[in-house]
Structure 1
Amino acid sequence: MKINAGEIRVGMLLEYRNDLWQVLKTQHVKPGKGGAFAQVEMKSVNKNTKLNERFRSNETIEKASLEETNFTYSYEDQEKYYFMNPKTFEQTEIQKNLIGEKGKLLTENLGVTISFYNDNPISVDLPNQVTSKIETTDAALKGQTVSSSYKPAILENGLSIQVPPFIEAGDSVVIDTRNMEYIKKI
């Protein structure tokens, strides 16, 4: 699907120069002289390289068409995570490096959305919020300022996050999977 350069947004996947690119940053520039353009920073999905490109406003770019399918997380081994399609019971395996640190938030039967491009998995989207238990946390210091006095905590899955002073070891908390931040205590 062709889109105008002015419609490019962060997170989009574009087909450009015979490769698939994910948009990292975009800035619309209208200089005093000459036509407006979009300055776009992209990262290659396949080669892991970056590219800064300038597109004129009247140019069109091919937006990649992705097929999104819902899966549930099953299990993991040394190199891969395994997901099952709840409708067809087909299994899909995905390399751990594609998911990264967020893979530690996966729990059995957690519903995820996997995006496919030409039948190859491109990304795995976790739910926006997941629940996890605090394994260890530092003691809260008395007399610290009330505003933004967070302390480090380690979750049961090994991830380290910042939590408010009233959170103790053993508490269950909700975490935002997009930015890996504490949301609330349960």
Structure 2
Amino acid sequence: MPKINGNEIRPGNVLEHNGGLWSAIKVDHVKPGKGGAFAQVELRNLRNGSKLNERFRSADKVEQVRLEQKDQQFLYESEGMLVFMDTETYEQIELPADILGDRRIFLQDGMTVVIEYYDAEALNATLPQKVTCKVVETEPVIKGQTAAKSFKPAILDNGFKIMVPPFVGQDEDIIVNTETMDYSERA
């Protein structure tokens, strides 16, 4: 595994640190008035989800881990486990439903999800950045209200509550950004 300097750490990097695998969530480069510069890094453990704040000086060496990414198709959910199928080998794997966290609500049948592996262990799953959902409940469109930059509440077909522009009506399909969990555009 390649070693990188502490000041080369970027958000999204996966590092081997203190005997565990950690993902860098937030990185702040600090140059104090006295002393050397360092990177203040917020890390999340990929196995148990715990968080850690760590300082890395530019002289510190950390091992960067490359995870293997595979496209897997979501098949169904059974007893708190999500069943995925490898699109190349047709092998099925089961992962705990909490691997997706809050974004679990946007998982749809047949959706292709990127699962990251370290050796044979599945550590992370990423949904497509944009998914299409149907608005099942919202206030009616009011003429003349589209000029101002305002939003109104809506409920999607998966039960998720979201803020949408005033021109979006009931039974319309919209595209939701799964990273920010916000309205993106009309479908």
Give the percent of matched residue pairs that are identical in Structure 1 and Structure 2: 41
* Letter of the structure 2 residue corresponding to residue 96 of structure 1: A
**What SS does the corresponding residue of 2:47 show, helix, strand or coil?**
coil
Aligned twin of 2:53: 52
TM-superposed CA distance for 1:8, in Å, is 0.7
* Letter of the structure 2 residue corresponding to residue 129 of structure 1: K
TM-superposed CA distance for 1:62, in Å, is 0.8
**Alignment map for 1:99-138 (pairs within 5 Å):** 99-138=100-139
Aligned twin of 2:43: 42
Aligned twin of 2:85: 84
1:21-72 CA distance string (max 9 Å, x none):
1212111112232221111111222233222111111211111221111111
For structure 2, list consecutive stretches of 5 or more residues without a partner in the other structure. none
For structure 1, list consecutive stretches of 5 or more residues without a partner in the other structure. none
* Letter of the structure 1 residue corresponding to residue 67 of structure 2: L
Asked if 1 retains the 8 angstrom alpha-carbon contact of 2:146 and 2:166, the reply is no
RMSD across aligned positions (CA): 1.8
**Length, aligned pairs only:** 186
TM-superposed CA distance for 1:145, in Å, is 8.0
Q: Structure 2 CA distance, aligned partners of 1:163 and 1:67?
A: 36
Q: Structure 1 CA distance, aligned partners of 2:52 and 2:102?
A: 24
**What SS does the corresponding residue of 2:180 show, helix, strand or coil?**
coil
TM-superposed CA distance for 1:96, in Å, is 0.8
Q: Structure 2 CA distance, aligned partners of 1:148 and 1:11?
A: 33
**Alignment map for 1:93-104 (pairs within 5 Å):** 93-104=94-105
TM-score (norm 2): 0.91
Aligned twin of 2:166: 165
TM-superposed CA distance for 1:16, in Å, is 0.3
TM-score (norm 1): 0.92
**What SS does the corresponding residue of 2:101 show, helix, strand or coil?**
helix
Asked if 1 retains the 8 angstrom alpha-carbon contact of 2:47 and 2:123, the reply is no
**What SS does the corresponding residue of 2:102 show, helix, strand or coil?**
helix
TM-superposed CA distance for 1:159, in Å, is 1.2
**What SS does the corresponding residue of 1:103 show, helix, strand or coil?**
helix
Q: Structure 2 CA distance, aligned partners of 1:143 and 1:89?
A: 53
